[in-house]
Amino acid sequence: MADDGAVTVYGGSAITDATAAKKNPFSIKVGMVQMLRGGAIVEVSSMDQAKIAESAGACCVLVSEPNTSGISRMPDPSLIKEIKGSIAIPIVARARVGHFVEAQILEAVGVDYIDESEVLAIADEDHFINKHNFRAPFVCGCRDLGEALRRVREGAALIRTQGDLRGSGNIVETVGNVRKVMGDIRVLNNMDDDEVFTFSKKIQAPYDIVAQAKQMGRLPVVHFAAGGIVTPADAALMMQLGCDGVFLGSDVFDCPDPYKRVRAIVQAVRNYNDPVILAEASSALEDTLAGLNLSENRVERFGGGGGSY
């Protein structure tokens, strides 16, 4: 994560506020997300979990339904209202990809951010939500630079580079996808301006957004990582690779002392370049990782369930 202040928002050469004037201008949405930089967003499914996350230092909570079988949809609005009334930090909730009515409902119940999430069932296989039509800033997932910049064009104010969706505790996919995004940005930075046209076609992203990323040397919006982040070292790794923060799945609560575990990861995110603090944060966490089993090929959780991030 860069330490050079707030991310520059779009100017006249990229996304203009005229395209987003129906609700909040896009530049305001990008500014609203800046407060999350350097923090951890924790997935919760109850008021008690939300209070633990807040007391442990989470910058935001992601409200989700308790694990159920069948189609995954947006959380119950009554659960969102209950949690919103019990904590002071911002709330984000998921809507299915392309399901703009779920997004309308979430905005109506007062969530601070909406995550158009591939973690849920997909409602529309061909279209994403036009996020410029909403007042609330949107979070969107990606696995490469082209996908990230396409979501920014649609109005995403926070990009979540997604790894493992199975809740296995395996960070390898997240590392690979973050490195891919960052590597493509470094390649883009070294290109001549004439080469950017071809590169934008190659990654299937709008030229003006690609040019903005080249100018800034990073994604034009806040960038988090999600998937398999279960230890302070995992979180610090994501930050040192260039992310602005991390998502933690609900599996952080599947331990005897979830406060200690979340607090340790929050401290790692805030002090990701200090090995001494990271060593302290990583100490005496064996019990909190008791639900993880190191298999021959990957880290897997005992039993079913677990968080999506």
Q: Per the structure, how many domains does the chain have? A: 1
Residues of the chain short of pLDDT 50, as ranges, are: 1-21, 293-306
pLDDT at 300: 43
Please list the residues that pair with 141 across neighbouring strands.
160
Within-domain flag for 162: yes
Distances (CA, A) of 254 to 262, 290, 291: 11, 9, 7
9 lies in some domain: no
Q: What is the structure's pLDDT at 11?
A: 44
Looking at residue 120, its pLDDT comes to 83
Q: So what's the pLDDT on residue 68?
A: 65
| pLDDT for position 14 | 43
Per-residue confidence (pLDDT) for residue 98, from 0 to 100:
93
CATH of the domain at 92: 3.20.20.70
Domain that holds residue 129: 23-280
Looking at the chain, the number of H-run helices and the number of E-run strands are: 11, 10
Helix (H) or strand (E) holding 94: strand 91-96
Q: How far are the Cα atoms of 25, 33, 128, 146 from residue 9, in angstroms, in the given order?
A: 11, 11, 22, 19
| pLDDT value, residue 4 | 46
In-domain check, residue 82: yes
Would residue 151 count as lying in a domain? Answer: yes
End-to-end CA distance of the chain: 20
In a domain, 291, yes or no: no
Residue in the block written with tokens 């159920």: 68
- Residue 303's pLDDT is 42
| Residue 14 resides in a domain | no
Residue 167: predicted pLDDT? 66
In a domain, 219, yes or no: yes
> Would you state the pLDDT for residue 244?
97
Please report whether residue 287 resides in a domain: no
Query: What is the reported pLDDT for 146?
Result: 96
